Amino acid sequence: MSEYIVEMKRIVKRFPGIIANSGVDFRAKPGEINGLLGENGAGKSTLMKILYGIYQPDEGEIYLDGQRIERLNPAKALKIGIGFVRQSIKLIPDFTVAENILLGYQPPFALLNLKKRRQDVEDLAERYGLNIDPDTKIKDMELAGQQKVEILKALFRKVRILILDEPTSSLSDIETEKMFQMIRKISAAGVTIIYITHKIEKALELSNKITVLRRGEVVGDIPLSECRISKEELVDLMVGESIALRTCKYTTEIRKGEIPRLRIENLCAGSADWGMPLKNISFDLFDGEILGVAGVSGNGQKELAEAVFGLRAKTAGCLYFSGEILARQSPKEMIARGVFYIPADRDGEGLLQDLSILFNANVEVHSCEPMASPGFLKTFGIRTPLFQNSRKMKNYAEGIILQNRVNPPNPLAIVKHLSGGNAQKVLLGKVLACSPKLVIVHNPTRGLDVKSRAFVHERLLELRKDGKAIILVSDDLDEIEELSDRIAVMYEGEMVDIMPCGVSRSLIGKRIAGIKG
């Protein structure tokens, strides 16, 4: 009998153009909480997808209880007691909690027997202190609840090893704390937990052992019970080079008499059945300024960003751009004026997933000189740019890749194969290359590792230094405090206050909760 419940030896996994794992060794002792730490694209998820049989390793061996396991697939993995809660929720939205948990649990022609089974589900939820109604449909649940269902689904199958891939990435602090309590409870029940994260504090708080991955290799395997390690040391391990954690503060400049880049007066937009309606929003935004927009997600921040960009029709109010009233407001018009929007939903709204970096970089500019030209038609007096110049487009994309250190540095790489950080670099880079006057960014660093996050912040600060105006909408209060010159707080579609930077956290917290006094 082996000391380890799981042993992965010299795992190698290659993808076109990328080596995700190059000879990774990973082992876990029974009943422990194992932190798997690394930046985006370090190969954490790939390693665990191999352990769960979603990917086949190109080389390497997997042992469970000392026994070699070959040709693993998800069905087999579940059968031998490995459960995997993926980062993106893999539940059927139209099914109830009970149906989702039962899916694939019984042999094909077994009767569902929903009544009895839903009782089992309820009992199990109770045992782990979860308040879940088995008859609720997933699409009617909050994200935190859906995550609990995912974990419950694994527990229902009596897994011995539970892999959690960034389970707290979209949870609030209170929900994260609850999730940690639950994970400890599960661990206490004898389940080995592998916890994938890029957040150092979280890994330190929860784990018995931390394995650090960098660029597909293990750079540290640290049993926390035996030795102590500081946060800084872990950052160094993860990133490979020291990056100073930035603590910058800016003083507000008083800018009376200057024409604001953007002035919004009594803006109202939207209706209740499509997001949060905006009520009477007014503010000025000057060049060289970052306006942070804070608030609990869903209080109209996204709607505000979309209304300014012209994606959402306003019902009342005026917008002035450089003192000029915006009569017609469409994204096309706004882009022509130099206003760009970087949406929070990178995959869905920001980038074209199935196309290459080359195409994504050229989306806004492909029909302008010099990416396109009238070519020989010019001799006939035709000025419409009809012909694409593919070499210019490629150079343009390569420029963006170089400036933003996108990995892989290949303009033909398909965007959906990039890690989150690299995808965000492409998105940010293509906007910056258009020399914008006003940029609206929404959650620009969500799900990004320390290094990419620092990079994004650096680019935003550069932009500010160049005298551009930035609206930074973010759920991450640290980010807002770090970068903003002024902090606006949204609550139920209203802008409750605009404060200078440097005000106390507790005051911001009060405003976020909707308390005006």
Partner 1 sequence: MLEDILSAGARIAVPILFAALGEMLIERSGLLNLGIEGIMEVGAVTAFLTACFTQSIGFSLLFAILTGLILGLVYAYMVINLYANQVLTGLAIWVLGEGIAAFAYKVFLSKLPSITIDGVPRLPIPYLEKLPLLGGIFSQDLFLYASFPLIFILWFLIYKTSFGLAIRAVGHRPTAARDLGISPIRIKYLCVMAGVSMMAVGGAYLTLTITNAYYHPTPYIGIISLRGFIAIIIVILGSWHPVRIGIAALFFGIADATQMRLQNLYPAVPTYFYIMLPYLAAFITMVVLRRGDKPLDLSNAYVQEK
Contact set with partner 1 (CB under 8 A) = 52, 54-56, 73-79, 84, 86, 90-95, 99, 102-112, 153
Closer CB to partner 1, 156 or 321, in the complex = 156
What is the Cα–Cα distance from 413 to 425, expressed in whole angstroms? Answer: 14
Alpha-helical regions (H) of 189-254: 200-206, 231-239
What is the closest distance, in whole angstroms, from the C-beta atom of residue 376 to partner 1 in the complex?
36
The number of beta carbons lying within 10 Å of the beta carbon of residue 206 is: 22
What is the residue type of 483? L
What is the Cα–Cα distance from 112 to 135, expressed in whole angstroms? Answer: 14
What is the closest distance, in whole angstroms, from the C-beta atom of residue 219 to partner 1 in the complex?
27
Looking at the DSSP assignment, which residues form a beta bridge with residue 162?
83, 193
Closer CB to partner 1, 21 or 207, in the complex = 21
Alpha-helical regions (H) of 331-389: 331-337, 357-362
What is the closest distance, in whole angstroms, from the C-beta atom of residue 170 to partner 1 in the complex?
18
Q: Got the DSSP string for 161-198? A: EEEEESTTTT--HHHHHHHHHHHHHHHHTT-EEEEEES
What is the Cα–Cα distance from 512 to 505, expressed in whole angstroms? Answer: 10
Kindly state the tokens that stand for 514.
């909707």
What is the Cα–Cα distance from 278 to 299, expressed in whole angstroms? Answer: 9
Closer CB to partner 1, 55 or 359, in the complex = 55
Cβ atoms 52, 74 nearer than 8 A? yes
User: Which uninterrupted H or E stretch holds 155?
Assistant: helix 143-156
DSSP letter at 346 equals: I
Closer CB to partner 1, 64 or 490, in the complex = 64
What is the Cα–Cα distance from 132 to 327, expressed in whole angstroms? Answer: 50
Closer CB to partner 1, 153 or 312, in the complex = 153
What is the closest distance, in whole angstroms, from the C-beta atom of residue 106 to partner 1 in the complex?
4
User: Which uninterrupted H or E stretch holds 460?
Assistant: helix 450-465
What is the Cα–Cα distance from 100 to 149, expressed in whole angstroms? Answer: 8
Kindly state the tokens that stand for 370.
């010099």
What is the closest distance, in whole angstroms, from the C-beta atom of residue 90 to partner 1 in the complex?
4
Q: Which of left, alpha, beta for 154 (phi over 0: left; psi -120 to 50: alpha)?
A: alpha
What is the closest distance, in whole angstroms, from the C-beta atom of residue 91 to partner 1 in the complex?
6
Closer CB to partner 1, 79 or 505, in the complex = 79
What is the closest distance, in whole angstroms, from the C-beta atom of residue 355 to partner 1 in the complex?
16
What is the closest distance, in whole angstroms, from the C-beta atom of residue 89 to partner 1 in the complex?
9
What is the closest distance, in whole angstroms, from the C-beta atom of residue 110 to partner 1 in the complex?
5
Kindly state the tokens that stand for 306.
């979309």
Looking at the DSSP assignment, which residues form a beta bridge with residue 500?
486
Closer CB to partner 1, 243 or 414, in the complex = 414
Closer CB to partner 1, 86 or 209, in the complex = 86
